[in-house]
Protein backbone atom coordinates (compact mmCIF):
# COMPACT_ATOMS: atom_id res chain seq x y z
CA UNK A 1 0.00 0.00 0.00
CA UNK A 2 1.29 3.43 -0.92
CA UNK A 3 -0.06 6.88 -0.09
CA UNK A 4 0.10 10.03 -2.19
CA UNK A 5 -1.07 13.53 -1.24
CA UNK A 6 -2.18 16.53 -3.27
CA UNK A 7 -2.21 20.02 -1.72
CA UNK A 8 -4.65 22.71 -2.83
CA UNK A 9 -5.48 26.15 -1.41
CA UNK A 10 -8.63 28.20 -1.24
CA UNK A 11 -9.86 31.34 0.49
CA UNK A 12 -13.32 31.53 1.98
CA UNK A 13 -15.42 33.39 4.52
CA UNK A 14 -17.69 31.92 7.15
CA UNK A 15 -19.12 32.43 10.59
CA UNK A 16 -19.95 30.02 13.36
CA UNK A 17 -23.39 30.54 14.79
CA UNK A 18 -26.68 28.87 15.51
CA UNK A 19 -29.74 30.80 14.35
CA UNK A 20 -31.83 29.51 17.24
CA UNK A 21 -29.35 30.98 19.76
CA UNK A 22 -29.12 34.59 20.88
CA UNK A 23 -26.23 36.76 19.71
CA UNK A 24 -24.91 36.60 23.28
CA UNK A 25 -24.90 32.79 23.40
CA UNK A 26 -23.27 32.59 19.95
CA UNK A 27 -20.59 35.03 21.10
CA UNK A 28 -20.07 33.10 24.33
CA UNK A 29 -19.74 29.78 22.46
CA UNK A 30 -17.95 30.78 19.25
CA UNK A 31 -16.20 34.02 20.22
CA UNK A 32 -14.98 36.21 17.36
CA UNK A 33 -15.91 33.44 14.92
CA UNK A 34 -19.57 34.41 15.38
CA UNK A 35 -18.94 37.91 13.99
CA UNK A 36 -22.19 38.90 12.20
CA UNK A 37 -20.12 40.36 9.34
CA UNK A 38 -18.21 37.08 8.76
CA UNK A 39 -14.48 36.43 8.76
CA UNK A 40 -12.18 34.58 6.36
CA UNK A 41 -9.33 32.11 6.15
CA UNK A 42 -6.67 31.07 3.70
CA UNK A 43 -7.30 27.33 3.84
CA UNK A 44 -4.83 24.62 2.85
CA UNK A 45 -6.35 21.29 1.83
CA UNK A 46 -4.36 18.04 1.73
CA UNK A 47 -6.06 15.09 0.03
CA UNK A 48 -4.33 11.73 0.61
CA UNK A 49 -5.11 8.77 -1.61
CA UNK A 50 -3.93 5.20 -1.11
CA UNK A 51 -3.74 2.09 -3.21
CA UNK A 52 -1.52 -0.25 -5.12
CA UNK A 53 0.85 1.03 -7.78
CA UNK A 54 -0.43 0.32 -11.28
CA UNK A 55 2.42 -1.59 -12.93
CA UNK A 56 1.67 -0.04 -16.34
CA UNK A 57 1.72 3.61 -15.22
CA UNK A 58 3.68 3.51 -11.96
CA UNK A 59 0.83 5.55 -10.39
CA UNK A 60 -1.61 4.98 -7.59
CA UNK A 61 -3.62 7.74 -9.24
CA UNK A 62 -2.73 10.17 -12.01
CA UNK A 63 -2.02 13.39 -10.10
CA UNK A 64 -3.38 15.48 -12.95
CA UNK A 65 -6.69 13.65 -12.52
CA UNK A 66 -6.59 14.04 -8.73
CA UNK A 67 -5.99 17.78 -9.17
CA UNK A 68 -8.92 18.00 -11.61
CA UNK A 69 -11.25 16.15 -9.22
CA UNK A 70 -10.33 18.32 -6.23
CA UNK A 71 -10.64 21.57 -8.15
CA UNK A 72 -13.88 20.66 -9.94
CA UNK A 73 -15.71 19.36 -6.88
CA UNK A 74 -14.20 21.42 -4.05
CA UNK A 75 -11.86 24.34 -4.64
CA UNK A 76 -13.65 25.84 -7.66
CA UNK A 77 -16.90 25.59 -5.69
CA UNK A 78 -15.65 27.13 -2.45
CA UNK A 79 -12.79 29.50 -3.37
CA UNK A 80 -13.58 33.17 -2.65
CA UNK A 81 -17.08 32.26 -1.47
CA UNK A 82 -19.04 32.46 1.74
CA UNK A 83 -19.19 28.90 3.08
CA UNK A 84 -22.46 29.52 4.93
CA UNK A 85 -24.29 31.14 2.01
CA UNK A 86 -22.69 30.18 -1.32
CA UNK A 87 -21.51 26.55 -1.06
CA UNK A 88 -24.25 24.04 -1.86
CA UNK A 89 -22.54 21.09 -0.18
CA UNK A 90 -22.43 23.06 3.10
CA UNK A 91 -26.06 24.25 3.11
CA UNK A 92 -27.67 23.67 6.52
CA UNK A 93 -24.37 22.60 8.12
CA UNK A 94 -22.21 24.27 10.75
CA UNK A 95 -19.32 25.88 8.86
CA UNK A 96 -16.65 24.67 11.28
CA UNK A 97 -13.38 23.30 9.96
CA UNK A 98 -14.32 19.88 11.34
CA UNK A 99 -17.64 19.72 9.48
CA UNK A 100 -16.04 21.18 6.34
CA UNK A 101 -13.32 18.49 6.31
CA UNK A 102 -15.85 15.66 6.75
CA UNK A 103 -18.02 17.09 3.98
CA UNK A 104 -15.09 17.53 1.59
CA UNK A 105 -14.15 13.88 2.25
CA UNK A 106 -17.68 12.77 1.37
CA UNK A 107 -17.72 14.95 -1.77
CA UNK A 108 -14.42 13.51 -3.04
CA UNK A 109 -14.75 9.86 -2.00
CA UNK A 110 -16.75 8.50 -4.94
CA UNK A 111 -14.82 10.47 -7.56
CA UNK A 112 -11.49 9.15 -6.27
CA UNK A 113 -12.81 5.59 -5.94
CA UNK A 114 -13.83 5.83 -9.61
CA UNK A 115 -10.09 6.17 -10.35
CA UNK A 116 -9.36 2.75 -8.75
CA UNK A 117 -7.78 4.39 -5.70
CA UNK A 118 -9.08 4.91 -2.17
CA UNK A 119 -9.46 8.24 -0.41
CA UNK A 120 -7.44 7.86 2.79
CA UNK A 121 -7.78 11.26 4.45
CA UNK A 122 -8.52 14.93 4.16
CA UNK A 123 -6.42 17.35 6.18
CA UNK A 124 -7.67 20.93 6.27
CA UNK A 125 -5.65 23.82 7.71
CA UNK A 126 -7.75 26.79 8.77
CA UNK A 127 -4.71 28.65 10.11
CA UNK A 128 -1.06 27.70 10.37
CA UNK A 129 -1.75 26.53 13.93
CA UNK A 130 -5.21 24.95 13.57
CA UNK A 131 -6.09 22.02 11.36
CA UNK A 132 -8.28 18.95 11.29
CA UNK A 133 -7.67 15.55 9.72
CA UNK A 134 -10.47 13.15 8.80
CA UNK A 135 -10.09 9.51 7.77
CA UNK A 136 -13.69 8.63 6.93
Would residue 80 show up in a list of annotated catalytic residues for this protein? yes
- Active-site pick, 33, 41, 65, 73: 33
Q: In which element (H, E) is residue 66 found?
A: helix 63-70
Determine how many CB atoms are found less than 10 A away from the CB of residue 123. Answer: 17
List CB contacts of 73: < 8 A, sequence separation 6 or more. 107, 108, 111
Would residue 65 show up in a list of annotated catalytic residues for this protein? no
Would residue 106 show up in a list of annotated catalytic residues for this protein? no
- Active-site pick, 28, 52, 80, 133: 80
Active-site amino acid positions = 33, 80, 126
Amino acid sequence: MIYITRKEKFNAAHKLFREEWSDEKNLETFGKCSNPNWHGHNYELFVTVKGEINPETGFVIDLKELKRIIRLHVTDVIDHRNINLDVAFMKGKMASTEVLAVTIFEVLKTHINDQFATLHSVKLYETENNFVEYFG
